[in-house]
Amino acid sequence: MTARRRGRASRMACAAVLVLLPVLAVRHAASFPLYGDQTVLPAGTELNQDALTVPREQFRTEAAEGIPSYMVKLGDLAFNSPALLGGIARQAGMSCNTCHVAGASNPKFFIPGLSRHPGTFDTTGPLFNAKADNGVFDPVRIPSLRGARYLAPYGNDGRTASLRDFVRNVIVGEFAGPEPSPAILDALVAYIQDIDFLDNRRLGPGGRLVTTDEAQLRGQALFNKPFPNDPSLSCAICHVPFGAFLDHRQHDVGSGGLFKTPTLMNANFNAPYFHDGRFDSYEQVVGYFDRVFHLELSPQDTRDLVAYLNAIGDGWRPNVANRIGVQLQEISGFASVLATAIPAHDAETVALTVDTIDNELRELIEQFPDHRDPTIPGGQAERQRARSVLKGMLLNLSRIELAAAAGDFDRAAAEFQNYRYVASANVGAALRAAEPWSLFNPKIHDAHYDAIRQMQALQTAAKPDH
Amino acid sequence: MFQVALLCVALATAGSQGCHAAPFDEATERYRGYMIADMDRALAGSRQLRDYLNANDIAAAKEAWIKARIGWERSEVFTSAFIPELDDAIDAWPDAAAGFHGIEAKLFSANPGGFGDVLDMLVAHLTEADAQVRAMPLTPQGLLDGVTRLSFEVGDSKVDGGESRLSGTSLDDMRNNADGIELAYSILFAASLEGADPQLAVQIRDGIDKLKTILKVQDLRQVDPEDLQKTSEALVVAWQAAGPKLGLATPTLEGPVK
């Protein structure tokens, strides 16, 4: 994109170009980083799937003390389903959630040949849909979807007004997925639009800072101050403080074309910055605008602007520990879709739900390695129990799907009752008992992945020759 | 055999739990013969592997490693259920220090070497496993548990290259697992189940055939993970239904076998 749309620097604005990318995601694929020559994704791929923390999702519905609708739950489910995509993406177990982890971004995501920096990805590369390949290596940053309902138009260049159209293009155009049903598209949009910005207690009405911090206040003044060489411009002209720090327009700031003004809300967690992820820090971003727009900032000015950006880009509890409770809550949310889909005799949604939870459960089972893992010093009985309960749930879901596919929805309903009983009665306790010997324990986690990396290190340049 | 099985199932349904012993005893001993042959193959392969490495013939050693794996992976119905401690030592993962995968990491590396006593340990452990398969009582319930567990395991995603990713033989592992499942079904359970529940027998046979078809691809990357997973789980569901029909308990997926 940068190569095709290179243009002269516009006189407009200080758009740091954090853009809603046409990227959905990869999820739950297995042991990363990948190595060997039998992997679906290129060796060296890093999807950050073993992270011990995950971004926190804040939903508009829950903030209003409501309960997410069926459509939001279905959308969440679809967002996590590899079945939505096609080709290599589906083969690799990719879903929207892999790039947009819990609706945020994925700053460690890296696919050799498709990423220039971690957190970037060439959506018009050859791997996922040869028809979408533009022949140019032009990765763009993976954006957070927090507050997406405020962020139209969509795409890093703002080319699509409708979120629904944008999502459909990502599925079908970029990831070679089958045409999604209108209901699934509506559900995905409902889910994405329910993902809110994280609360930022440093921001008051109209996007004004609520602080006595002098550096931040000086930064706020600079942010609103007209540019020395063009008084019609300021940072705040494009990043409108009372409008979620964006203006819904595209600008050319000399970075390679016209790009949409990104929001600065929660931007502390959205690095790297600019449409192509070229900058890792606010200091670099401010330095760029200082050079290009001749802002004549002193070192103190730069520090003050960075302090201000850090204040307005903050968010309360951006991450949560990736613990058992988080996983079970997610699975429980997905399973709740069955409570509507089974009585509605909707075999297609039942299959999608089972498929998605199946992947989640298999991933969860891997968090409790079996007896062959030499990096775990004990807890074999507890791990066995946890694995057994999870496998039981998984098979229960298989029975639900088999019954629904056969048109026997009464049996599917009975199996769903069993599933709910097991899920509420046995799972939490069994998993928590095994947690100290699971990959949820940071020490065990590190030892396990160190062992994998040790094997990888030995493999350097190895090629099977049989 | 067919009539005996029918009678056995009829009695089992009526509450008897002892009748299955006779036909299963015969089948189990037949199955043991195949297990011994596979374990012998694994052991012979490991000895060849050691010899070739001592002679610094890396190419032949790689072939021997692969040959040893065939026998081992076909035996997983037995190894995972009956000798888990030896399974730990022989097939530990992830482990760059010991067992098959420890050797794999070094053997298939850019600079093979540094094996130390790992080869001798593998041969010793396989010798012990070989002895165990000859002497250990094999229960039908334990073997049903073993085949069910293996049917589940083969459905795990291998998009990361699987466990034998350095040698590039994870697909072979899966095929050998499927062969092991088929062998166990044919020798141990097919006749009895065909008598007790022909429809379920067809379901299991079809599931195994489908599993093998899914794995008939040139490359691990061509395996459809979704299809594999669903086929594996449908097969496990069928095994679980088969347990009571055979006069056995519903097979378990974890823990000690009976």
Q: Tell me the one-letter amino acid at B161.
A: G
- Helix/strand/coil percentages in chain B, nearest 5: 70, 0, 30
CB B153 within 8 A of CB A448: no
Q: Tell me the one-letter amino acid at A187.
A: A
CB B193 within 8 A of CB B204: yes
Distance of residue B93 Cα from the nearest chain A Cα, in angstroms = 5
A95's enclosing H/E stretch is: none
- Two tokens, residue A444: 């065990």
Q: Which residues pair with A59 in a beta bridge?
A: A195
Q: Count the alpha carbons within 13 Å of B249 in the hemisphere toward its beta carbon.
A: 9
pTM: 0.87
Instruction: Tell me the C-alpha distance between A164 and A248, whole Å.
Output: 17
CA pseudo-torsion sign A354, A360, A363, A364: negative
Q: Tell me the one-letter amino acid at B54.
A: N
Please report whether residue B251 resides in a domain. no
Please report whether residue B102 resides in a domain. yes
Instruction: Tell me the C-alpha distance between A72 and A340, whole Å.
Output: 13
A378, exposed or middle or buried, with CB in 10 Å at 0-12, 13-18, 19+?
A: exposed
Residues of A in contact with B157 (CB under 8 A): 28-30, 93, 362
Instruction: Count residue pairs from A and B with Cβ separation < 8 A.
Output: 149
Instruction: Tell me the C-alpha distance between B41 and B89, whole Å.
Output: 18
Instruction: Tell me the C-alpha distance between B193 and B202, whole Å.
Output: 9
CB A216 within 8 A of CB A307: yes
Cβ neighbours of residue A140 closer than 8 Å, sequence gap 6 or more: A1, A19, A21, A22, A23, A120, A121, A122, A123, A156, A275, A276, A277
- Two tokens, residue A368: 């409790």
Q: Are residues A30 and B157, on separate chains, in Cβ contact within 8 Å? A: yes
Instruction: Tell me the C-alpha distance between A256 and A252, whole Å.
Output: 7
Instruction: Tell me the C-alpha distance between A39 and A395, whole Å.
Output: 27
- DSSP letter assigned to residue B215: T
CB A144 within 8 A of CB A100: yes
Please give the residue of chain A at the shortest CA–CA distance from B96.
A455
A176's enclosing H/E stretch is: none
Say how many residues make up chain A. Answer: 466
Helix (H, G, I), strand (E, B) or coil at A260: strand
For residue B39, give its domain range: 2-245
Buried b (16+ CB within 10 A) or exposed e, A280-295: eebeebbbbbbeebeb
Superfamily of domain A1-200+246-289: Cytochrome c-like domain (1.10.760.10)
Walk along chain A (466 residues) and give the pLDDT tens digit of each residue: 222 222 323 333 333 333 333 333 333 334 444 555 667 888 888 888 888 899 999 999 988 888 999 999 999 999 999 999 988 888 888 899 999 999 999 999 999 999 999 999 999 998 999 999 999 999 999 999 999 999 999 999 999 999 999 999 999 999 999 999 999 999 999 999 999 999 999 999 999 999 999 999 999 999 999 999 999 999 999 999 999 999 999 999 999 999 999 999 999 999 999 999 999 999 999 999 999 999 999 999 999 999 999 999 999 999 999 899 999 999 999 999 999 999 999 999 999 999 999 999 999 999 999 999 999 999 999 999 999 999 999 999 999 999 999 999 999 999 999 999 988 888 999 999 999 999 999 999 999 999 988 887 776 544 444 4
Residues of B in contact with A90 (CB under 8 A): 226
Q: Which of A440, A448, A446 is nearest to A372 (CA)?
A: A448
ipTM score: 0.87
Please report whether residue B56 resides in a domain. yes
Residues of A in contact with B234 (CB under 8 A): 398, 402
Question: Based on the structure, what is the number of domains in chain B?
Answer: 1
pLDDT tens digits for range B60-71: 999 999 999 999
Asked if the C-beta of A392 comes within 8 angstroms of chain B's C-beta atoms, the answer is yes
Between the CA of residue A421 and those of A358, A410, A414, A417, what are the distances in Å?
18, 17, 11, 6
Asked if the C-beta of B79 comes within 8 angstroms of chain A's C-beta atoms, the answer is no
Q: Where in chain A is the domain with CATH 1.10.760.10?
A: 1-200+246-289
Q: Which residues pair with A110 in a beta bridge?
A: A46
Q: Which of A29, A459, A461 sits opposite B105 (nearest CB)?
A: A459
The CATH number covering residue B98 comes to 1.20.1420.20
